[in-house]
């Protein structure tokens, strides 16, 4: 386990990020409905921008997403720097 | 048979069972897709659900081309994916080589920036990207899709190729240098042939990601003949309220959409034979 710990950490963070960003599956299946129950932040962004023409609001939501993802990104870089290699 | 051997065998059986279970779980949607694609429209919702339909409707595989527009989708998907893969490889192979074997100023920060750039979903910057594409007049062209797909796959593929190139010992670079190779020649004459396996895998990944890409294809392309296959399937799903959703055609289209991937995999399989650098510096 210690040998693959760094890989596991990296993969865990990446999978979290990809799940956060999984726009297309949700959009294709339910479009975030019924009544936004299956919507995630990135769906809100898209629907507000291109369906309700509410660009300002959706840009604000994407800034929130950006901040959240920055935290993930920081964790990711930290995980990368902690990498231990055994020769 | 002694006890330790017996224990080992039991563990092996459990591993095999576990892997078989995984395979069943992974293959289930694909089996369902093929099954539905062979049903007549009146059989799709029949209860009890049958895996093998009472009447096997092979004609779906012909009809889908005449009744739904799938061919245009195929054409545009193939164009976009092919050009994107060429672009990605042209940029990424040298980049990965540089990250892996060369030393330059600010290498680490740049590498981290590349890594971090793949964390931010295209969705959250879709508005500025749309405005940019619009002002460049690239909306509703293949060019916009190619640019976007290339951009958002670069980081991931660099990551893959870097780890591939990291496995090539640096003594190989030194040997090439002594024999008078420039950096570029080292890359093209030694690294690319030696790491064919890794590059083949990277091509497969780039292909899958571009082929399945939905967001940009859906946002940027508005005229029907230019829609990619994934968007075409989505349109079939959403735009036939009179018929209800023609699930059998959607699934047939989905089977067709997976064909190129399988073909590519079979073509490229010969390259995935093994590591050619094993024993390179002995």
Task: Please give the domain boundaries of chain B with CATH numbers for all domains.
Answer: 3-62 (no CATH), 64-269 (1.10.3720.10)
pLDDT in tens, B167-214: 888 888 888 888 888 888 888 888 888 888 888 888 888 998 898 888
Per-residue confidence (pLDDT) for residue B24, from 0 to 100: 92
Tell if the CB–CB gap between A46 and B123 is shorter than 8 Å.
yes
Asked if residue B274 has pLDDT above 70, the reply is: no
**pTM assigned to the model:** 0.81
In this prediction, residue A50 carries a pLDDT of 80
Given a contact cutoff of 8 angstroms between Cβ atoms, the answer to whether B145 and B220 are in contact is yes
pLDDT digits (tens, 9 = 90+) for B118-145: 777 788 888 888 888 889 888 888 899 9
Q: Is residue A46 part of a domain?
A: yes
More confident position, B94 or B237: B94
Which of A12, A28, A60, A85 to probe by mutation at the B interface, max B CB count within 10 Å?
A: A28
Both structure tokens of B64: 């889908």
Residue A32 lies in a domain: yes
How many domains would you assign to chain A?
1
Tell me the pLDDT band of B243, cut-offs 50, 70 and 90.
Answer: low
Residue A55 pLDDT grade (very low, low, confident, very high; cuts 50, 70, 90): confident
**Range list of H helices, chain B:** 3-37, 60-67, 71-101, 107-117, 126-135, 142-166, 170-178, 183-185, 192-194, 196-211, 215-220, 229-238, 247-269
Residue B148 has pLDDT above 80, yes or no: yes
pLDDT of residue B152: 87
Residue with tokens 């290498």: B107
Structure ipTM over 0.95, yes or no: no
How many other C-beta atoms can be found within 10 angstroms of the C-beta atom of residue B69? 16
pLDDT value at residue B272: 66
Identify the pLDDT of residue B80: 92
Question: In B, residues 214-273, which contact A (CB 8 Å cutoff)?
Answer: 214-215, 219, 234, 237
Residue B63 neighbours by CB under 8 Å, 6+ apart? B249
Is residue A86 in some structural domain? no
A23 contacts chain B (CB < 8 A) = yes
Structural domain span for residue A33: 2-81
Averaged pLDDT of chain B? 83
By three-state DSSP, how is residue B227 classified? coil
Pick A62's closest partner by Cβ from B115, B119, B124.
B124
The reply to whether A59 touches chain B by the CB within 8 Å rule is yes
Cis peptide before B117 (omega within 30 of 0): no
B1 min Cα distance to partner chain A (Å): 31
> Does the distance separating the beta carbons of A21 and B116 come in below 8 Å?
no
Residues near B71 by beta carbon (within 8 Å), at least 6 away in sequence: B65
Residue of A nearest to B217 (CA): A24
| Residue B91: predicted pLDDT | 92
Q: Measure CB to CB from residue B215 to each of A24, A58, A59 and give the nearest one.
A: A24
Distance CA B70, CA B48 (A): 31
B224-242 pLDDT, tens digit per residue, is 788 888 888 888 877 766 6
Residues of chain A found within 8 Å of residue B120, distances taken between Cβ atoms = 66, 69, 73
Residue A53 lies in a domain: yes
8 Å CB contact of A28 and B234? yes
Other beta carbons less than 10 A from residue B122's beta carbon: 18
- Residue A67 near chain B (CB below 8 Å): no
* pLDDT, tens digit (0-9, with 9 covering 90-100), for B30-50: 888 888 888 887 777 777 777
Taking the CA atoms of chain B, what radius of gyration do you get in angstroms?
Answer: 24
Q: B120: which 2 tokens?
A: 């931010």
Please name the residues in contact with B147: beta carbons below 8 A apart, sequence gap of 6 or more.
Answer: B138
Q: Provide the pLDDT for residue A32.
A: 64
With bands split at pLDDT 50, 70 and 90, how would you rate the model's confidence at A87? very low
- With respect to residue A11, please indicate whether it lies within any of the assigned structural domains: yes
Which tens digit of pLDDT belongs to each residue from B11-31?
889 999 999 999 999 999 888
Contact A42 B120 (CB under 8 A): no
């Amino acid at each position: 386990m210690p040998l693959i710990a760094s890989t596991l950490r990296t993969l865990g963070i990446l999978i979290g990020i990809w799940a956060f960003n999984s726009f297309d599956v949700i959009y294709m299946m339910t479009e975030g409905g019924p009544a936004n129950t299956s919507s995630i932040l990135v769906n809100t962004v898209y629907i507000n921008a291109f369906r309700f023409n509410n660009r300002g609001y959706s840009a604000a939501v994407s800034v929130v997403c950006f901040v959240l993802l920055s935290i993930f990104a920081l964790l990711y870089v930290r995980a990368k720097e902690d990498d231990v290699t055994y020769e | 048979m002694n006890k330790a051997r017996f224990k080992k065998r039991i563990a092996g059986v459990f591993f095999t069972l576990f892997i078989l279970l995984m395979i069943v779980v992974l293959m289930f949607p694909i089996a369902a897709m093929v099954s539905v694609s062979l049903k007549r429209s009146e059989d799709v919702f029949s209860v009890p659900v049958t895996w093998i339909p009472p009447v096997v409707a092979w004609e779906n595989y012909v009809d889908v081309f005449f009744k739904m527009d799938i061919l245009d989708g195929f054409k545009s998907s193939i164009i976009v994916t092919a050009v994107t893969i060429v672009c990605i490889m042209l940029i990424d192979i040298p980049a990965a080589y540089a990250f892996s074997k060369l030393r330059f100023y600010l290498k680490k920060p740049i590498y981290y920036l590349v890594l971090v750039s793949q964390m931010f979903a295209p969705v959250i910057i879709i508005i500025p990207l749309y405005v940019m594409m619009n002002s460049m007049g690239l909306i509703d062209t293949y060019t916009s899709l190619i640019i976007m797909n290339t951009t958002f796959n670069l980081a991931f593929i660099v990551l893959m190729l870097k780890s591939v190139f990291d496995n090539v010992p640096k003594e190989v670079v030194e040997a090439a240098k002594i024999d008078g190779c420039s950096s570029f020649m080292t890359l093209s004459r030694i690294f690319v042939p030696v790491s064919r396996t890794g590059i083949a895998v990277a091509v497969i990944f780039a292909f899958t990601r571009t082929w399945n890409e939905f967001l940009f294809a859906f946002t940027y392309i508005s005229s029907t003949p230019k829609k990619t296959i994934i968007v075409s399937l989505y349109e079939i799903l959403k735009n036939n309220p009179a018929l209800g959703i023609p699930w059998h055609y959607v699934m047939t289209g989905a089977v067709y959409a997976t064909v190129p991937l399988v073909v590519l995999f079979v073509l490229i399989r010969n390259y995935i034979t093994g590591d050619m650098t094993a024993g390179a510096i002995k």
